[in-house]
């Protein structure tokens, strides 16, 4: 029995984390900070694109450039104490009691629901090749429902010659973090833990419980855990789509979506909640942009013949995803309309695009909505100058190091990320740098005061600001 094998192995002492990214780095540091865990390895491929992380992490330095309270201090603490080290030697997995995998799982093609599990499967094979009896393997990556007890289990068993649930424990414990508050989220959010059997769930609970402060472990099956993760992100995406669609409606009807949102949010009482999220220029990141498709693929694989659903109707969740994907296109239309009001052709116009990362005060550029927006502008012959205080470089994009350089000579200033540095932008200064009689300001995050810019002669356009988008132009 697995319980006997684990009992013989003893308590979890040595841990490995595969994938040194936004999830793996803080997780490894927190594991290493637990007194009764002896040591933690972070596993990172020594590749041309990310091998540099190994030396940085071994010096106790974070390769994440956004604002992450407490992370660098914790990394220095555990690295100096000799409790954490990063390596590209996957054979060291043989020394460990537990291994977690935090590897990205994007989609090859959203239309045919084909996920790209190549990197994850490579990690699973590395674990399986070095697996020993009594070890715990936990998938933290967001995956299609059915993956843990399906193909992941098969790969581990094939590579190791061992049997899951008999010789080693296997579970899914999805990450639930947001860039900018990684440590806090891991400690304070409840942890979903789903094993392929009860013993696996118990062993995974042993691994995660010491890291939690406010949060608690919520046990369930592996498939239920997979659905929980994909569904919670799908629901958040649905909520964002709801307010984005309302913003589009308010623009069309000439009213302020933020007034409407405040009114709706004011309805409170026993059993009543109408809390709404915020509209914006688009949704980015690794999770929300693809987790809907994992959920959709899960039901197609596991429950297609059992699904009872209105005939011929599209998925509500996929429609929400498409609405959010549409927002950069709407930003393009707002930009084009603003330039037209100023009498400036889009072709040849200089656009200052402020904010390339998808999240405020972060360097995370994964699936940034700014990219499809920029591509639309470039296709129309506009010249785009991109600035982001947290992003120094991005493939195929010449990042401008100083915001003043982006603003100089700009026909339109477009805000895509609500970085705190952009909150102090001054309309007079921007107009002076622009040198245009009627420069455009397109606000995708409700960051600026429309009236302050309108008074300075700007053409203002904003997401959901139907009350201002057709304002009189001040000469």
Q: What is the DSSP letter of 180?
A: T
How many other CB atoms are there within 10 angstroms of residue 81's CB atom? 12
Count how many residues are written for the chain. 475
How many other CB atoms are there within 10 angstroms of residue 87's CB atom? 16
Backbone angles phi, psi at 59, to 5 degrees: -90, 0
Q: Which of 53, 83, 110, 229 is catalytic?
A: 229
Tokens standing for 127? 């674990």
Answer yes or no: 336 catalytic. Answer: no
Helix (H) or strand (E) holding 100: strand 98-101
| CA dist., res. 297 & res. 353, Å (int) | 35
**3-class SS at 430?**
helix
Answer yes or no: 287 catalytic. Answer: yes
E strands within 322-381? Answer: 350-354
| CA dist., res. 144 & res. 124, Å (int) | 15
| CA dist., res. 278 & res. 251, Å (int) | 15
Longest dimension (CA), the chain: 82
Q: Which of 53, 86, 110, 287 is catalytic?
A: 287
**3-class SS at 442?**
strand
Strands 14-18 and 98-101 come out as parallel
∠169-172-177 over CA atoms, to 5°? 140
Task: Please state, in angstroms and as integers, the Cα–Cα distance from residue 184 to each residue in 181, 358, 430, 459, following that order.
Answer: 5, 20, 37, 41
Backbone angles phi, psi at 359, to 5 degrees: -130, 145
Q: Kindly list the catalytic residues.
A: 229, 287
């Amino acid at each position: 029995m697995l319980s006997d094998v684990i009992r013989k192995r003893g308590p979890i002492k040595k841990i490995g984390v595969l994938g040194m990214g936004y999830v793996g780095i803080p997780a490894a540091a927190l594991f290493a900070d637990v007194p009764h865990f002896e040591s933690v390895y972070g596993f990172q491929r020594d590749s041309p694109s990310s091998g540099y992380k190994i030396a940085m992490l071994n010096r106790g330095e974070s390769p994440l450039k956004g604002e992450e309270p407490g992370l660098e201090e914790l990394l220095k603490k555990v690295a100096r104490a000799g409790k954490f080290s990063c390596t590209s030697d996957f054979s060291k997995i043989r020394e460990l009691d537990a291994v977690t995998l935090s590897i990205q799982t994007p989609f090859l093609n959203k239309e045919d629901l084909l996920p790209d599990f190549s990197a994850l499967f490579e990690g699973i094979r590395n674990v399986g090749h070095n697996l020993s009896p009594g070890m715990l393997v936990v998938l933290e990556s967001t995956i299609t429902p059915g993956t843990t007890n399906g193909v992941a289990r098969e790969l581990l068993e094939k590579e190791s010659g061992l049997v899951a649930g008999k010789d080693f424990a296997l579970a899914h414990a999805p990450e639930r973090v947001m860039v900018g508050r990684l440590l806090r989220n891991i400690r304070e959010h409840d942890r979903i833990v789903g094993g392929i059997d009860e013993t696996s769930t118990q062993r995974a609970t042993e691994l995660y419980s010491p890291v939690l402060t406010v949060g608690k472990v919520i046990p369930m099956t592996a498939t239920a855990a997979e659905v929980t993760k994909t569904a919670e992100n799908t629901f958040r995406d649905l909520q964002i789509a709801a307010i984005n669609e309302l913003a589009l409606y308010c623009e069309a009807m000439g009213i302020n979506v933020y007034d409407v949102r405040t009114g709706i949010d004011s309805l409170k009482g026993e059993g009543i909640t109408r809390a709404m999220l915020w509209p914006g220029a688009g949704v980015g990141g690794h999770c929300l942009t693809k987790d809907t498709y994992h959920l959709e693929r899960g039901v197609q694989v596991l429950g297609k013949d059992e699904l009872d659903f209105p005939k011929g109707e599209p998925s509500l969740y996929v429609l929400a995803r498409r609405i959010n994907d549409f927002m950069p296109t709407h930003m393009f239309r707002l930009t084009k309309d603003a330039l037209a009001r100023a009498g400036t052709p889009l072709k040849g116009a200089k656009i200052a695009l402020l904010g390339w990362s998808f999240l405020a005060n972060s360097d995370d550029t994964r699936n940034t909505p700014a990219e499809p927006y920029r591509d639309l502008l470039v296709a129309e012959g506009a010249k785009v100058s991109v600035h982001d205080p947290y992003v120094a470089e991005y493939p195929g994009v010449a990042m401008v190091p100083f915001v003043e350089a982006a603003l100089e000579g700009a026909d339109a200033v477009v805000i895509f990320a609500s970085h705190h540095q952009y909150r102090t932008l001054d309309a007079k200064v921007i107009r002076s740098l622009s040198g245009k009689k009627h420069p455009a300001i397109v606000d995708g995050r409700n960051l600026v005061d429309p009236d302050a810019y309108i008074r300075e002669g700007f053409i203002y356009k904003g997401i959901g600001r139907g009350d201002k988008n057709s304002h009189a132009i001040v000469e």
